[in-house]
Amino acid sequence: MKVSRRKFIGTTALASSALFLPDFIRATAWQNKGGFIGKRLVIIQLSGGNDGLNTLIPFEDDLYYRLRPSLSLDSDQIIKINELAAWNNALLPLHKLYESGELAVLNSVGYPNPDFSHFRSMDIWHSASGSEKTINTGWIGRYLDSQCHECRAHTAIEFDDTLSMVMKGEKTFGLAVNHPEKFYRMTNNLFNSHDFRYGSTGIDALDYMYKVMADANESAAVIKEKFDVKESTAAYPDHAFGKDLKNIASLITAGLDTTFYYVSLSGFDTHINQKQNHNNLLKTLAGGISAFCEDLKKKNEFSNTLVMVFSEFGRRVKQNASNGTDHGAANAMFLISGSLKQKGLLNPVPDLSKLDDGNLTYEVDFRSVYATILTSWLNADAEKVIGKKFENLGFV
């Protein structure tokens, strides 16, 4: 059987970025053992390094204004939370969630010996490794390895064209979906083309691809079926991030038994002319999250959903010569849900008089956040997934 080089390369790229199933489990045989437990985690990645100090502002600290003469926010640009901290007013929708007890903030989150490379730092967050160690699997991927030997293929879905390392285990991988309808058409068209047929070709790589494509095709059909049943009619901001969150809400409210959803908002590498660009990004973030939460509330799914917002690192405290900020270290994280046990500011805003070579010092290890979610939200063995015991922070 003849397969063109172009078709093979295209199929290989699709399979590697979309779906791998252990033992090539068929859709008709999916068992969901150890899989969906009625709770889900939606992860929002702020790619590029969000400036936490202009997100949650220590407005009473004189050093904030001295170190950021043109980037600091004035009193009419903030929403005060308490006597020490304030939101960037672009985050008004998140402030409303905060006031209703549905949002928690962890300040100064990071890890020892931080790395200031986007790629390496993101690998550290994705793998839940220390900066001194390289691991080629993601913490969600290892969750799938340990909990989901017979889970449905779409237990973990990333809304993107390619799959991040965070979704990759040793044996089990998540699923990359750009859009449910487009993903279904792509897999269906490729699988049903003359180049793809059941049976052995005598070429191991092609046989592997055929089996992966069969599973991808079946998986895509399940997702599309759910998406078509209850596509969200809620009003979301008209940008890619809002559309991704709308698609996630559609799948959740249609009853798709997916534990992990992963979506990214890029543009946070603000080295130059940061102020307005960053405010626009925060407005996009807050508008999308607010619409998503309201959508889930109306469908009685908000209490079963936890949203985690993170960035690979923060920014340096002092502004640079280009009215921007350079790569920093510790940062703020947000946890959003209708089932938080701890709400509001979970720890103090950073002390700008105690910097490490111009960077914020970390007070909370990000792996403690993961451990808390794995143990208290997903009923998993956090130490087995992460590889080390970390403190349970008790927010869920």
Residue 219's pLDDT is what?
Answer: 74
Taking the CA atoms of 226, 232, 237 and 238 in sequence, report the sign of the dihedral they define.
positive
Residue 148's pLDDT is what?
Answer: 75
Task: Indicate whether 395 pLDDT > 50.
Answer: yes
Residue 15's pLDDT is what?
Answer: 46
Confidence grade of residue 209 (pLDDT, cut at 50, 70, 90) = low
Task: List helix spans (H) across 114-158.
Answer: 118-127, 139-147
Least confident span in 114-118, 144-148, 236-240, 354-358: 144-148
Least confident span in 140-149, 284-293, 309-318: 140-149
Flag whether 221 is in a domain.
Answer: no
In angstroms, the first-to-last Cα distance of the chain is 55
Residue 2's pLDDT is what?
Answer: 44
Flag whether 105 is in a domain.
Answer: yes
Residue 147's pLDDT is what?
Answer: 86
Tokens 């690998």 identify what position? Answer: 123
For residues 257 and 156, is the Cβ–Cβ distance under 8 A? no
What is the separation of C-alpha 56 from the centre of its chain, rounded to a whole number of angstroms?
A: 20
**Looking at residues 308-337, what average pLDDT do you find?**
98
Paired sense of beta strands 78-80 and 331-337, if any = unpaired
Flag whether 188 is in a domain.
Answer: no
Q: If DSSP codes are grouped into helix, strand and coil, which group holds residue 334?
A: strand
Task: Indicate whether 214 pLDDT > 90.
Answer: no
Residue 197's pLDDT is what?
Answer: 56
Least confident span in 20-29, 312-321, 356-365: 20-29
Flag whether 1 is in a domain.
Answer: no
Q: What CATH number does the domain containing 280 carry?
A: 3.40.720.10
Flag whether 123 is in a domain.
Answer: yes
190, two tokens: 């490729």
pTM for the complete prediction?
Answer: 0.88
Burial 185-198 (b: 16+ CB within 10 A, else e): ebbeebbeeebbee
Least confident span in 139-153, 239-253, 287-301: 139-153
**Looking at residues 73-83, what average pLDDT do you find?**
96
Residue 261's pLDDT is what?
Answer: 98
Burial of 223 (0-12, 13-18, 19+ CB in 10 A): buried
Task: Indicate whether 249 pLDDT > 90.
Answer: yes
Confidence grade of residue 33 (pLDDT, cut at 50, 70, 90) = very low
Flag whether 172 is in a domain.
Answer: yes
pLDDT digits (tens, 9 = 90+) for 94-144: 999 999 999 999 999 999 999 999 999 999 999 999 999 999 999 999 999
For residues 95 and 104, is the Cβ–Cβ distance under 8 A? no
The number of folded domains in the chain is 1
Confidence grade of residue 27 (pLDDT, cut at 50, 70, 90) = very low
Q: For 50, phi and psi rounded to 5 degrees?
A: -65, 140
pLDDT digits (tens, 9 = 90+) for 253-288: 999 989 999 999 999 999 999 999 999 999 999 999
Flag whether 265 is in a domain.
Answer: yes
Residue type, 336: I
Range of the domain at 372: 32-179+232-386
Flag whether 263 is in a domain.
Answer: yes
